[in-house]
Amino acid sequence: MPAPSLPLAEASLDLEHCTSCQACVELCPEVFGWDEDQELPYLKTSQGNEEDLRKAAAYCPKDCIQVTSLQRKTP
């Protein structure tokens, strides 16, 4: 299994103040999916590229996205 070359981070979503702007889905589609019925984003997976996740968190107008860095394991 190849070692991940990019820093990984864990994402969590608090949608209480979400405006359904979909910025997170556009910026980091590998982690954030879009629920058409509820018109809210959801987490496809809890982990993703840290840079993309931090960008999504920075663009979220309501600070719904929390990003936690994960330590890379060395073989």
Binding positions for ligand SF4, rule: CB under 6 A: 18-24, 41, 60-62, 64-65
Minimum Å gap between C-beta 55 and ligand SF4 is 11
Q: Which is nearer to ligand SF4, 4 or 19 (CB)?
A: 19
Picking from 73, 71, 31, 63, the residue whose alpha carbon sits closest to that of residue 48 is 31
Joined tokens for residue 52? 């993309």
- Alpha-carbon distance of 48 to 32, in angstroms, equals 10
Of the pair 39, 69, the CB lying nearest ligand SF4 is at: 39
Residue 45, by phi and psi: left (phi above 0), alpha (psi -120 to 50) or beta? Answer: beta
Closest distance of CB 1 from ligand SF4, Å:
31
- CB closer to ligand SF4 out of 35 and 72: 35
